[in-house]
Amino acid sequence: MSESVIQSNRKELLDSAVSFLNEPSVANAPLEKKIEFLKSKGLSEQEIEQALKVATDTPSQSVVVSKSEPKIDRDEFVYESLPPPLPARDWRDYFIMATATAGLFYGVYEVTKRYVLPNVLPESKTKLEQDKEEIKLQLEKVDSLLNAIEQEHNAFKSKEEEKMNELDHTMSQLQTALDETSKTRAKMEYELENIKSQVGSLQSAVDKFISTDSSSRDLESILKEIDSLKNLIKISGSIAKNDENSESNGNGKATSFSGSSVPGIDTIPSASEVLAKIKLGNKDADKNVPAWMKNKEQAQIDNSIPEWQKNALSTTDIPDWQTTVETAEAEENGTTGENEKVGE
């Protein structure tokens, strides 16, 4: 029973396919589209081939039948094509759609706010006045700031000019001080050269005078004094020996030297008398002798004594009275020479 029902249904599909192919509107359509349409209706390839074969074999018969038979409603046999299924959408598609929609609405909002509304609904006068006042306040602030900057610049400029003037004045004073210092230095150098030349000439004259005049006289006087001292020492030594011999003999006789021309020991002055005499005579003369001359004379005396003599004097014990007498005679001879120089 069921197989017969299926065969009857397939036969009806085949008959409807043949009738579809025999329609004049479908006869001129391409074969591929006809096959696709029949496949979409559920026909197999064999059934499609059979339907095409039947449609091509009996065209006239179908026309006659169509004329003789009553009109059949074709809507019952026409199968409409189903639309293709919609593609699947994921979250990225929805995100892109939402972003595009938001951007579009924002653009419309900005255009409406900036261009459409100001032309359609202009701003009120109060708003314009407020904007003008704000602009004026900003301009006043800028002007005050510029004035403050200008004042600071002028003050700084005046301070710099004062500093430059002070610096110029200081430089001029420094230049004048340097000029005066250089002049004073040149003057001092000139005076120092004059003093040096005068001192040199004076020193050369003094050296020449001392070497030519006083050296020979002082030497002669010193030699004379040394000879006299030697004679006195010999005489005093012989007298002492005679006294000792007379005492040892015990005769109580003393040798008489009254008739001799040699002076006695009492005639020799003491050291204190010689020094007092020399000091009284040379007190005023020492004041007039400069210190540099004394030092020079002392240096010359020290240099004139040989080293062997200095060593001998340092090792040999000299009596105090002889040292005092020699010193006094040297000072007396020096005073005599100076007095002679002053007299000349």
Residue 26's pLDDT is: 73
Greatest mean pLDDT among 84-98, 209-223, 286-300 lies in 84-98
Nearest in space to 255 (alpha carbons), one of 247, 268, 263: 247
Mean pLDDT of 255-262: 42
> pLDDT tens for residues 13-47?
778 778 877 777 777 777 787 788 877 777 778 88
> pLDDT tens for residues 94-129?
999 999 999 999 999 999 988 888 777 766 667 778
Q: Is 81 helix (H, G, I), strand (E, B) or coil?
A: coil
Burial (CB count <10 Å: 0-12, 13-18, 19+), residue 60? exposed
Mean pLDDT of 139-146: 93
Residue 99's pLDDT is: 95
The letter for the amino acid at 86 is: L
pLDDT tops 90 at residue 175 = yes
- 229 Cβ neighbours under 8 A, 6+ residues apart: 322, 325
Could you tell me the pTM of the whole model?
0.24
Residue 257's pLDDT is: 38
Q: What is the mean pLDDT of the chain?
A: 71
| Distance, CA of 92 to CA of 99 (rounded, Å) | 10
pLDDT tops 80 at residue 146 = yes
Residue 45's pLDDT is: 80
Nearest in space to 43 (alpha carbons), one of 68, 64, 14: 14
Greatest mean pLDDT among 24-28, 54-58, 136-140, 320-324 lies in 136-140
| Distance, CA of 127 to CA of 129 (rounded, Å) | 5
Answer yes or no: are the C-beta atoms of 328 and 276 closer than 8 Å. no
- Work out the pLDDT band at 155, boundaries 50, 70, 90: very high
Residue 39's pLDDT is: 79
Residue 231's pLDDT is: 78
The letter for the amino acid at 215 is: S
